[in-house]
Amino acid sequence: MNLLKQKIRTEGIVLSDSVLKVDGFLNHQVDPVLMQEIGEEFASRFAGEGVTKIITLESSGIAPAVMAGLRMGVPVVFARKRKSLTLTDQLYSAGVYSYTKNETNEISVSTDYLSSDDVVLIIDDFLANGQAVLGMLSIVEKAGASLAGIGIVIEKGFQNGGAALKDRGVRVESLAVVDSLENGSVTFHNEEASLK
Amino acid sequence: MNLLKQKIRTEGIVLSDSVLKVDGFLNHQVDPVLMQEIGEEFASRFAGEGVTKIITLESSGIAPAVMAGLRMGVPVVFARKRKSLTLTDQLYSAGVYSYTKNETNEISVSTDYLSSDDVVLIIDDFLANGQAVLGMLSIVEKAGASLAGIGIVIEKGFQNGGAALKDRGVRVESLAVVDSLENGSVTFHNEEASLK
């Protein structure tokens, strides 16, 4: 996705060798046109897989997931990080450890909105160590649903989440894979550092 | 918005005289086609107001706000309910008391994404007592930005948020106004109860 890589290059901020801040178009301010293109790209990559439902995690996964759902003609369920008083239903839940926040959150999806008939596409904004996606995978398994694959906006290729998922035989489609953030600059996968 | 009202009638669940659960298409599972129509309706109602930015609150405001932003050609900023370790910037913040959760959350927007040059449309999923919108209004005021108005998906007309905002001279556009949830059924504003 060239538009996405261009945005990362021009607006992404490398805070350290492991932290890429994209608050300008994905994690705080959202660029709706970019989200539309991302949604169309996910729809294209997972066309023909019989996807019936997209699962994402609040909050930054919602915009790309809803754009993909619009294009694919399927509903989107965002897993919640904490329970609401009006969520009176039965829940599928999983624990997700966040290395950046150093805490474990329980994420949940109502049993009303995921069943064994579903074929699920999981979408998330970032893939680093894979904890959030593994939590969503656990929820999909608890529901007895099938998995079409995982769509990631930005994968940190230098962390182990992508490899761990591929080792499980899961299809992972990442629209931009960052191989390094060293020396304050972004190197994408399959690109010479000199092309930065 | 007839499609919205029809969804509320057929899929909304009245949990009490004050709680309407719309987890099936807005607050947990999201209907992307409905979100697109909601976005187009907000864009139409606030056309010509010179809006440069949409502000919403994570998580349920994001889908309708991003669809409105797509149609209006402006970025969307979702105010965060808690700080992230990568949010190293200066913040505009406000306290928001939640009656349903019985707690006060601080919501924040980075000073990078809101300035005195902006003309802001605030979008949120629900308007009840108005606390969340008042928090976002406070953030807009702290930034010195102008306000075009407030777009609400579902307003609980029997609570005082809408009246409080209109008393301040703020334009509020609610796509569905629920006047009553008594006896387990939804009565919309300007409709006979018999038309439910």
Give the residues across from A120 on adjacent strands: A53, A147
How far is the C-alpha of A188 from the C-alpha of A196, rounded, in Å? 8
The per-residue pLDDT for B87 is 53
CB proximity A17 to B under 8 Å = no
CB proximity A31 to B under 8 Å = yes
The per-residue pLDDT for B168 is 94
Strands (E), B111-145: 119-127
CA B91 to chain centre: 21
| Domain contains B9 | yes
Q: How far is A44 from chain B (nearest CA, A)?
A: 17
The per-residue pLDDT for B191 is 65
The per-residue pLDDT for B85 is 47
What is the average pLDDT score of chain A? Answer: 93
The pLDDT tens digits for A151-171 are 999 999 999 999 999 999 999
Q: Are strands B119-127 and B146-156 parallel, antiparallel or unpaired?
A: parallel
CB proximity B80 to A under 8 Å = yes
| Domain contains A88 | no
Of A35, A36, A77, the CB nearest to B29: A77
φ, ψ at B113 (rounded to 5°): -115, 15
The pLDDT tens digits for A22-61 are 999 999 999 999 999 999 999 999 999 999 999 999 999 9
| Domain contains A186 | yes
Give the residues across from B51 on adjacent strands: none
The per-residue pLDDT for A102 is 85
| Domain contains A177 | yes
The per-residue pLDDT for B105 is 87
Comparing A22 with A83, the larger pLDDT belongs to A22
Domain of A150, in residue numbers: 2-81+108-195
Q: Do B66 and A69 touch (CB under 8 A)?
A: no
Mean pLDDT of A107-117: 97
Q: Do B28 and A77 touch (CB under 8 A)?
A: yes
| Domain contains A102 | no
The per-residue pLDDT for A193 is 44
How far is the C-alpha of A40 from the C-alpha of A3, rounded, in Å? 13
The per-residue pLDDT for B194 is 37
How far is the C-alpha of B191 from the C-alpha of B175, rounded, in Å? 14
Amino acid at site B23? D
How far is the C-alpha of A21 from the C-alpha of A3, rounded, in Å? 17
Contacts of residue B15 in chain A, CB cutoff 8 Å?
Answer: 86, 88
The per-residue pLDDT for B196 is 36
3 state SS of B147: strand
How far is the C-alpha of A175 from the C-alpha of A129, rounded, in Å? 17
| Domain contains A146 | yes
| ipTM score assigned to the predicted complex | 0.94
Give the number of domains in chain A: 1
- What angle (nearest 5°) sits at the alpha carbon of residue B18, between those of residues B13 and B20? 25
| Domain contains B196 | no
If phi over 0 gives left and psi between -120 and 50 gives alpha, with beta otherwise, what is residue A169? Answer: left
CB proximity A69 to B under 8 Å = yes
Q: Do B15 and A86 touch (CB under 8 A)?
A: yes
CATH number of the domain within which B127 lies: 3.40.50.2020
Contact A196, A187 (CB under 8 A): yes
- What percentage of chain A carries pLDDT values higher than 90? 87
Is the pLDDT at B3 greater than 60? The verdict is yes
The pLDDT tens digits for B126-160 are 999 999 999 999 999 999 999 999 999 999 999 99
How far, in Å, are A79, A159, B6, B88 from residue B135 at the CA level?
25, 38, 30, 21
